[in-house]
Amino acid sequence: MIELDKIYNEDCLEGIRKIDNETIDLIVIDPPYGKVVNADWDKGENPFTLELIKELYRVLNSTGSLYIWCGIGEKSQSLISFFNIMTESKFYFKDLITWKKQRGIGMRKGWLYTREECLWYVKDNKQFIWNKENQYSEEKRLTSNKYTKYLPKSEYKRITNVWDDISEATTGRQKKQKHLTPKPVMAIERIINLHTQQNDVVLDCFIGSGTTAIACINTNRKYIGFELDTNYYEIAQNRIAEALKFQR
């Protein structure tokens, strides 16, 4: 029996099969990119398969969205491989988001890496949830614009599909999370706020050090997570316990 607000230390495919049909409101996943970092979980056969995608489609509500973190570069082309797999599914492709990082990485001869990608899909393009009140950034529009025929609906600029306002985890935070590729809590919160309501259920079947769970706690959402690596599972549990202390 699957419980809410809990991370399970087991294979995600086996775990998802225990979830009832259309009981998940949003799915945010960060599968291994493949041979990008020197870690056991990033080697061997990738668990992001068509079989897994079919299960994700089954458990997602008709109004739900699926976000898949990925990358494109010399070491890994997970953006291409993930996209190709998704074309065989029933999901509807909506957009490709580029997260522009503040600091570059890589020591090789060539361009410095400062980007990461996120694929956005929906289950039903006619009824997916999009909370318009959360589509604006903290940057204000220009007060006057002679090229604007109509008054804007908000004094703030709309968020685009290039996110350059979210900093990656600092080295100190990475050490605290003890994960090589953590995603910013702010990025996950942005996705959650745009596609769910309070107490909705968010699924992350590659939850790593627990960032999606932390984002759900901060936004008053429910979560279900799966993490096969026992070490990361314990780290996530500790982070969740610490986050809950601040909620009291």
pLDDT, tens digit, for every residue of 186-223? 999 999 999 999 999 999 999 999 999 999 999 999 99
Let me know if residue 137 belongs to a domain.
no
Let me know if residue 224 belongs to a domain.
yes
Range of the domain at 97: 6-131+162-245
Q: What is the dihedral of CA 130, 133, 137, 143, to 10 degrees?
A: 130
Let me know if residue 88 belongs to a domain.
yes
| Pairwise CA distance, residues 205 & 28, whole Å | 8
pTM of the model: 0.89
pLDDT at 13 over 80: yes
CA-wise closest residue to 23 among 61, 54, 77: 61
Domain count, the chain: 1
- Residues 16 and 52: beta-carbon distance below 8 Å: yes
**CATH number of the CATH domain containing 67:** 3.40.50.150
pLDDT, tens digit, for every residue of 32-75? 886 555 555 455 678 899 999 999 999 999 999 999 999 988 87
CA-wise closest residue to 204 among 170, 175, 233, 161: 233
Let me know if residue 155 belongs to a domain.
no
